[in-house]
Chains A and B, each alone.
Chain A
């Protein structure tokens, strides 16, 4: 618990003591220090401690010297408490979790174990609860805004030191961040924020010199915190991200350093972000614009005006309802008039029947005339009411549309917030690759659905990574080619009729289509003839196909395809498309066209086994009928055979006996065409897409569900899954892992599965150091659960484990691995040819023998990921 909240209290207490001892210091300063100390004590959440601090503060106000003595004692006791704490207190109190022991003795010393205990317990308790997630989301949002503001202030001062107001604002912001982080159980972030605050404080008081390199360090650290917080879902993860930053901060300006010296701050510990390069590009930081808007979490911020519009709609709905109610009561009264007429007719007839006398024509005539007269008065009233009801219905429809529009508007988010997430990522990438890159964004005000925006983060980061790693050349290379040393990546957004267009372009090396042709021929994907005939355009679009990146070459193009297939998959799934254009030597441009919203979609509905299913109409090419019995293919309009996915068989419904010809829907998804069979095609409808919930989220066959007008749930099929069924992929090949490459670690999530805690932790450490985000699992079952919860770029698994072993896990996850293109590394002490072969057949990319060394592991992962 070295970095626990108590540390903050201790440091703060020391600060306060320093301020008090200073004869020259002013009262306001002392007060502030005491306030901060009290705030820090509150963070710990221990009443005992709070009481102690309060009494010390009171003493200081009353008798300063006495108070200072008490504070000195406090610092001493707390300091002594904190050091041995690691070995004893935590162990001791971790055991008796159910009872919270309250110390009776009022001394500071005794309360420490309670505090330790409580902090530990809180960490545990907050891991799974929804409440904590909500808190975290709120915190992320707030922290992001705070950090953006901090960087904005830092960068605003291109010339010199921030003025006092700005420094005070920086202090306030970091202080707020510290408090919030402590509250949401991220003590490491809290303590980092505390260090940050101290660094600013040192600058404010003149203990440290301000310099551009100090400023850049601070910006970098703020970025690092930003990234750590964005990925933190619990104290452990946050901790992993911030340790290096902490060391770094402690060093800032401490040695009264001048510019040159402070730019050489040693970094003995390499943080996951790989912020090791200190000679970074200052112009980048200077040009960065402050950007405070936007949302970086599942929370939604809405303009109150939009809510007001919705409220107006609700008001309209009330009117609509009361109008319709009025119509209903009018119609009811007309109905009663008709009933009266009926009754009269009935009693008349009954009278005639009773009397037994023959009815005269004139009697009959007058009776009928009376009824006719009555109906004649009712009819126009009825017609009028019906007409009004029609009007009311159309009014209701209008309100409904307004409501739908209003709700869509509520979900709309400006692209700016999406862009703001990219900046820290880009800076980290640029640092990793030693390239100078400037990000220019335009069209930040463009709005589209938040659910679409959220899913675009990963594709955009992937495209940026591609641009930085493969597009932008090294500064020297650029200058040699007559370009500026600094590369430029431009991300723009705009509306085009009903779609949002997002472009990522760079002014880098571009892609030479001839190189691609060669590669495809080498890969055996194309024959020489095909390569010769393929147009440049067609060749270029091939880079979105899985496996385009090369096996072993290390030239500029190697890895071009990494993740691009995932980009296309995400974009296509959202109902959009992505295209690439490139000019060798001048740059590359990726263009994504996306629908404004995914909540409402046009879908093709069809029936199988009495149940209605839907599929996004965007992917539907055509419909037709084919002869029975079904074959493996179905012809399209041009007579070409497309692979047929027999849905009856897939979904387990019998083929209707009376079906003469089978209706088929022809689809195109990610450039691949196929046909699916059904009982009856219903047609296209607007549907509202809903989530199927976590229990069914793991089934790749479904993209969601919708609710029919009569309230039944209808399932929406995922075209990606159908394509995978129609075009089963080739088996993954074991690859040559020994190769050196300048490619930076792809900072993505890895799942480590091993029954030994030591090995898990060791691998975790290795991977964290290399910039990966790591989640661990102790056996196959829990690994499978982790896979259901979130996606991973790779999984590293042991074979022999108690409970569910590695092979069982791979067997169970084989479909998942295929679907998600997750890379799998097997690490085992049983390095036999048989095991290797079996692992390979189950989708493993590589097999490493235990004990595994860091470099080997990282190399293998990189190699596996390059071969996506």
Chain B
């Protein structure tokens, strides 16, 4: 039983980190209609900034710089590239984002080299014990931070003019614009928020039980794509549920691989998230919480 609980907690805590990344995908998609394939590189950028800055200015100030840095890069990508697209068609923007991803990733890979850079998180490799179950402190902190972040997002989207404006812009941009909502402002906010979430996720993805920042982190971030898609392209709550579902599925399938191997084959834990995604999409084509309009355009 404690083994089952260990795997459930492993899965949920990793799933929360995935949901931070998935929410970033969803927020950019709702605020500007862009499939942001550069999101993985922004996750890596956030973690990289903390890794290179923490020895000189300390972990928390480095974290703050990383949050601003990742948000700024997001805002700049939107202001300089996305808004200047002649053709606002999502396909063109997605292609553009792939280009941005390659440029960012190549530069970060060059800077990181073949090092694994520790992020210097104050919780180090310590663990929190609940009875027989040991969970890395970093993951407990991640869970707390994620819950706070999502509470703040909920407040933003439901209780503030800016958030309501963002939702209106997402639902019907031209009408929202006619009602006096500045689309450029809601778009910039969306990209900045996604950047902040990416930087937070980057630090948790690269602190214990991961050893530090390596270029493959940008790829690990793509593990959040099934979470984003199955939650519904445009739903932040969907991204949270999706992340938890994907984290839980991977941990349990990996954890019970020995028992499942004869039925499902080796390495099914890596495939399971995509199987869950496909099953969910077969039953609910617009995802768990996605709005139907968003996928019928």
Real complex partners, A and B?
no
